[in-house]
Amino acid sequence: MTQTFLNAVFLENAVLEAEVTKLGCNIPAARKTGTTICGVVFKDGLVLGADTRATEGMIVADKNCSKIHYISPNIYCCGAGTAADTEMTTQIISSNLELHSLSTSRMPRVATANRMLKQMLFRYQGHIGAALVLGGVDCNGPHLYSIYPHGSTDKLPYVTMGSGSLAAMAVFEDRYKQDMEEEDAKRLVRDAIAAGIFNDLGSGSNIDLCVITKGRVDYLRPHDMANKKGVRTGNYKYKQGTTGVLTKSVIKLDLEVVEETVQTMDTS
Amino acid sequence: MLTELCSVPVTGMGQHVGAYGVQDTLRSGFSSVKNELLPSHALELSEKNFQLNQDKMNFSTLRNIQGLHAPLKLQMEYRAARQIQRLPFLQSSHLALDTLKGNDESISFEDILNDPAQSEMVGEPHIMVEYKLGLM
């Protein structure tokens, strides 16, 4: 029953959209994140990084949006592409992973989240525009995956996604070393995201970091405010007393209480 | 691009044929030839048959591994569980069927979008029961 309902909704929306575009009206564009996201594996764990700008065409829709999504206590996921798609996809997978972990009574593994994501994205053949960087630490150590909208995945020690991925990858290719220390890894990711922010129009604002190690997650938001809004240097407010007061008269209004009603608030 | 044009008409889009071999306007509304020949969304066919194809694949694997009895027994259980439901115009939970299929341990778009409890339309009770009992 639910399947037929879903297909009906599918059909109606697609047919309506076709009719509307024929009439010449534009369907509002989905808000993309036009992003720089990246991740790097270091000695004891991994660092995920993301910028915080969400664009709607040529306009910044959100100056400080959060692109690092929670999947499970030991797994986080950065999302690039259509903002709604990444948000809903990560939430669905997070719920499924929680149910799965309760059913198996074990901490969830990153490979499980990866497989769930890739099977779902492949099922929808790329129509769900979500490019993800999935990272976490489980019983087998730190793992980092990049997942493309059509459902292909790569397991690598350092990955970047989004419109600023080339700028960030340039920084990684130059300075990545195996088994870095945590501070070096954080600095590397911060510089990679900064490269994306300053060289790509789709990325901007601040840098968020998420450091995941065995037993500890540091969600640093914002880790670095790379683009602070400027402070106004001039003040155009007139000082008190600029206009001279000639006369002052006070008229008291006699108000009497006519009616008093009490409306109870629904505080349940 | 959401809509893709395919020049070859696709099977599986057929009309809902009623009792006399013609379009059943009462139950499935007016027909449009274009809607029936071409899919309006690239994923329409694949999504319509997704659950069926998954089941077919799982049953055939099970048959190869364990023998014919395994899928037969499962299908019999599904058929029995599918009959546990409320009257046609009421919303059934399909709890037994979901548990058998393993859907009680996963959340997907059918659970989030188009919640039947929030549906704006409700079926006419008498007509739906008559249709189910075959009196109509």
SS3 B97: helix
CB contact under 8 A, A103 and B105: yes
> What is the DSSP code string of A49-114?
EEE--EEETTEEEESS---EEEEETTEEEEEEEBHHHHHHHHHHHHHHHHHHHHHHTSPPPHHHHH
pLDDT at position A230, please? 81
The H or E element that residue A266 is part of is none
pLDDT at position B3, please? 41
pLDDT at A118 over 90: yes
Task: Work out the number of other CB atoms within 10 angstroms of the CB of residue B81.
Answer: 17
For residue B43, give the nearest of A18, A88, A124 by CB distance. Answer: A124
- Tens of pLDDT, residue by residue over B82-111, are 999 888 888 888 899 999 999 999 999 988
CA-based angle A4:B81:B59, to the nearest 5? Answer: 75
CA-based angle B91:B97:B98, to the nearest 5? Answer: 85
What's the predicted TM-score (pTM) here? 0.79
Span A87-106, average pLDDT: 96
The per-residue pLDDT of chain A, averaged, comes to: 90
- Structural domains of chain A, with CATH: 36-225 (3.60.20.10)
pLDDT at A169 over 70: yes
Q: At what angle do helices B69-82 and B50-66 cross, to 10 degrees?
A: 140
Q: Which of A10, A119, A124 to mutate to test the interface with B (most CBs of B within 10 A)?
A: A10
Domain extents in chain B: 24-83, 87-110+122-135
| Cβ within 8 Å of B, A 83-102 | 88, 92, 95-96, 99-100
Contacts of B112 in chain A (CB under 8 A): 88, 92
Note whether B85 and B129 are within 8 A (CB): no
The H or E element that residue B131 is part of is helix B125-133
CB contact under 8 A, B107 and A5: no
For residue B48, give the nearest of A7, A103, A124 by CB distance. Answer: A7
CB contact under 8 A, A14 and B3: yes
pLDDT at position B90, please? 84
Cα(A54)–Cα(A58) distance, integer angstroms: 10
Cα(A35)–Cα(A53) distance, integer angstroms: 7
pLDDT at B9 over 70: no
Residue B90 at interface with chain A, using a CB cutoff of 8 Å: no
- Tell whether ipTM is more than 0.85: no
Q: Which of A9, A11, A89 to mutate to test the interface with B (most CBs of B within 10 A)?
A: A11
Cα(A2)–Cα(A167) distance, integer angstroms: 45
CA contacts within 13 A on the Cβ side of A23: 8
Give the residue numbers of A annotated as catalytic, written as ranges. Answer: 35
Question: Which range is most confident: B4-8, B45-49, B53-57, B92-96?
Answer: B53-57
pLDDT at position A1, please? 42
Which residues have C-beta within 8 Å of that of residue A178, sequence separation ≥ 6? A157
Give B62: exposed, middle or buried? Use CB within 10 Å, 0-12, 13-18, 19+: middle
pLDDT at position A6, please? 53
Cα(B114)–Cα(B109) distance, integer angstroms: 9
CA distance A145 to chain B (A): 22
- Tens of pLDDT, residue by residue over A183-220, are 999 999 999 999 999 999 989 889 999 999 998 999 99
Note whether A137 and A46 are within 8 A (CB): yes
Note whether A217 and A211 are within 8 A (CB): yes
| Cβ within 8 Å of B, A 118-147 | 123-125, 127
Span A71-78, average pLDDT: 97
For strand A37-41 and strand A45-51, is the pairing parallel, antiparallel, or unpaired?
A: antiparallel
The DSSP symbol for B40 reads S
For residue B110, give the nearest of A2, A13, A17 by CB distance. Answer: A2
The H or E element that residue A15 is part of is helix A2-23
The H or E element that residue A161 is part of is strand A158-161
| Cβ within 8 Å of A, B 3-62 | 3, 35, 40-44, 46-48, 50-51
pLDDT at B59 over 90: yes
CB contact under 8 A, B109 and A92: yes
For residue A7, give the nearest of B47, B105, B108 by CB distance. Answer: B47
Residue A16 at interface with chain B, using a CB cutoff of 8 Å: no
Residue type, B19: A
pLDDT at position B14, please? 59
Residue type, A17: E
Helices (H), B5-124: 25-28, 33-37, 44-48, 50-66, 69-82, 95-101, 109-112
Cα(B29)–Cα(A49) distance, integer angstroms: 52
Residue A5 at interface with chain B, using a CB cutoff of 8 Å: yes
